[in-house]
């Protein structure tokens, strides 16, 4: 096992860190050391199956404290295993993978259409910030989280800050910790109001379901943990603004895509959403710790080792995605032209939001929502008229999470 810790290299190299280690080792599985722990870095469908098997990898106690204290929250579903995970996850699956998605998309697209009228009155719009506000408005209304128009920009900023600060020692990390403290305290108070009957919320809404949820031990969630889980719905929904920013980047570099997107052809819009999620760097890798000594492809690591799956690397694996650095939504379509359909994607193949079965494993339960929102907003973005003034649109792979540096500044915006 290598003796030198790679934590600093990981933070410095970002998304290129595991791919570089693999290239240097000349193989898919790499052994290294992270946060002083022996670490196994995996990629590919086989590696993903290995990682999602709880006999090999557990999440509890495995995620680094700086990540839990910013991105996920203490006590979050991400940190559970076994029966406690199954019961908590079922709540998310019911809330996020059912019929309610259409209502969420309607609320977000209505908020976008209203905001686009206002953008036309402004000298410039920072698209990622503006999209974050649109998404915050839509998801908070859908989830029954009360937020006034005045409070909206600050809430949108806090929710994006939680995402922006999880993988760095820079000031944005400390901002993220403070934002989490603030928002957990606020939402825990609201959960208590709902439970005591001082606040009424629509039956079946996110706030109603989380406030009333009973864990595998039959107990209600601590108010603070309930707040964590409400945030685990609204925070990643608002994070779709990153993909909106990446979509604008793609439309700029591959203008032909704009023309076909504008038609609103649903299969093509979905294919664009998949290609944006595949092509652009967002979640770098996922991982956990081995409960026992485990072996994969001839490499053995001791109990307690970290095991990571390189999501970004897998999404650029030429075996799975030929010419992976070409942005080609058509790779997700069967057939040509208006008659094309979205092709079936295997559970271990496209992994921007994890792999496997979201109902039983840790795969993101918000993937349907992400694709539905992103395809609807991508069509709207393609129909918007705007100018991109001179700005830094570069996406650095060494910054986690990556983003177009400028946030995508638009001028002369005219609704489509
Ligand atoms: C888990 C990515 C959107 C809710 C995850 C995981 C990833 C991910 C990589 C971890 C998978 C694993 O550990 O195996 C993303 C990305 C998104 C997104 C890139 C785009 C913005 C959403 C949305 C929601 C959501 C919209 C909810 C509305 C969750 C939850 C989990 C999760 C609750 C924890 C699942 C578990 O541990 O069982 N997501 N996600 N995500 N995501 Fe997402």
Q: Determine the Cα–Cα distance for residues 92 and 362; give it in Å rounded to an integer.
A: 11
Q: Is 364 flagged in the annotation as binding?
A: yes
Q: Over the range 327-345, which residues count as b (16 or more CB within 10 Å of their CB) and which as e?
A: bbbbbbbeeeeeebebeee
pLDDT of residue 4: 80
Minimal-distance CA residue to ligand 1 atom 36: 362
Beta bridge partners of 42: 309
Task: Kindly give the distance from the C-alpha atom of residue 95 to the centroid of ligand 1, in angstroms, as a whole number.
Answer: 13
Residue 27 backbone dihedrals phi, psi, to 5 degrees: -150, 165
Give the residue from 347, 287, 352, 342 showing the smallest Cα distance to 315.
352
Q: Determine the Cα–Cα distance for residues 402 and 37; give it in Å rounded to an integer.
A: 26
pLDDT of residue 338: 83
Beta bridge partners of 40: 31, 307
**Pocket mutation for ligand 1, best pick of 353, 356, 361, 369 (most atoms within 8 Å of C-beta):** 353
Q: Reading across the β-sheet that carries 37-42, which strands appear in turn?
A: 30-34, 37-42, 306-310, 285-289
Encoding tokens for residue 217? 């031990």
Task: Kindly give the distance from the C-alpha atom of residue 412 to the centroid of ligand 1, in angstroms, as a whole number.
Answer: 35
Task: Kindly give the distance from the C-alpha atom of residue 236 to the centroid of ligand 1, in angstroms, as a whole number.
Answer: 7
Task: Kindly give the distance from the C-alpha atom of residue 72 to the centroid of ligand 1, in angstroms, as a whole number.
Answer: 10
Give 196-244 pLDDT, tens digit per residue: 999 999 999 999 999 999 999 999 999 999 999 999 999 999 999 999 9
Which residues does the chain have with pLDDT short of 70? 1-3
Minimal-distance CA residue to ligand 1 atom 15: 353
Residue 8: partners with Cβ closer than 8 Å, 6 or more residues away: none
**Pocket mutation for ligand 1, best pick of 51, 366, 401 (most atoms within 8 Å of C-beta):** 366
Of ligand 1's listed atoms, the one at least distance from the Cα of 95 is 28
Domains with residue ranges and CATH for the chain:
7-414 (1.10.630.10)
Residue 253: partners with Cβ closer than 8 Å, 6 or more residues away: 327
Give 79-135 pLDDT, tens digit per residue: 999 999 999 999 999 999 988 899 999 999 999 999 999 999 999 999 999 999 999
ipTM beyond cut 0.90:
yes
pLDDT of residue 230: 98
pLDDT of residue 409: 98
Give the residue from 95, 86, 37 showing the smallest Cα distance to 287.
37
pLDDT of residue 49: 98
């Amino acid at each position: 096992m290598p003796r030198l810790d790679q934590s600093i290299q990981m933070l410095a190299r970002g998304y290129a860190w595991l791919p570089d280690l693999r290239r240097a080792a000349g193989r898919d599985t790499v052994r290294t050391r992270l946060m002083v722990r022996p670490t196994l870095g995996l990629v590919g469908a086989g590696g993903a199956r290995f990682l999602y098997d709880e006999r090999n990898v557990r999440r509890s106690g495995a995620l680094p404290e700086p990540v839990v204290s910013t991105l996920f929250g203490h006590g979050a579903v991400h940190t559970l295993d076994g029966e406690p995970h199954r019961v908590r996850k079922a709540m998310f699956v019911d809330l996020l993978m059912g019929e309610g998605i259409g209502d969420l998309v309607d609320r977000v697209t209505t908020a976008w259409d209203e905001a686009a009228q206002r953008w036309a009155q402004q000298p410039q719009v920072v698209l990622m910030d503006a999209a974050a506000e649109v998404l915050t408005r839509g998801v908070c209304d859908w989830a029954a989280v009360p937020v006034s128009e005045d409070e909206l920009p600050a809430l949108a900023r806090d929710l994006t800050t939680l995402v922006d600060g999880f993988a760095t020692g820079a000031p944005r990390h400390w901002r993220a910790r403070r934002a989490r403290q603030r928002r957990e305290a606020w939402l825990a108070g609201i959960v208590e109001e709902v439970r005591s009957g001082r606040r009424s919320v629509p039956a079946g809404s996110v706030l109603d379901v989380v406030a009333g949820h009973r864990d595998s031990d039959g107990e209600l969630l601590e108010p603070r943990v309930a707040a964590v889980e409400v945030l685990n719905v609204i925070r990643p929904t608002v994070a779709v603004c990153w993909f909106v920013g990446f979509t604008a980047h793609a439309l700029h570099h591959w203008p032909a895509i704009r023309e076909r997107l504008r038609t609103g052809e649903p299969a093509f819009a979905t294919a664009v959403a998949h290609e944006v999620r595949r092509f652009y760097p967002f979640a770098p890798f996922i991982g956990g710790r081995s409960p026992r000594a485990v072996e994969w492809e001839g490499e053995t690591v001791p109990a307690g080792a970290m095991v990571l799956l390189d999501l970004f690397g897998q999404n650029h694996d030429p075996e799975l995605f030929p010419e992976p650095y070409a942005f080609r939504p058509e790779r997700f379509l069967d057939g040509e032209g208006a008659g094309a359909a979205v092709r079936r994607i295997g559970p271990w193949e496209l992994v921007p939001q994890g792999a496997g079965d979201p109902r039983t494993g840790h795969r993101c339960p918000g993937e349907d929502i992400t694709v539905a929102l992103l395809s609807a907003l991508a069509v709207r973005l393609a129909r918007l008229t705007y100018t991109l003034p001179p700005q830094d649109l570069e996406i650095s792979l060494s910054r986690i999470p990556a983003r177009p540096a400028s946030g995508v500044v638009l001028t002369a915006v005219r609704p489509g």
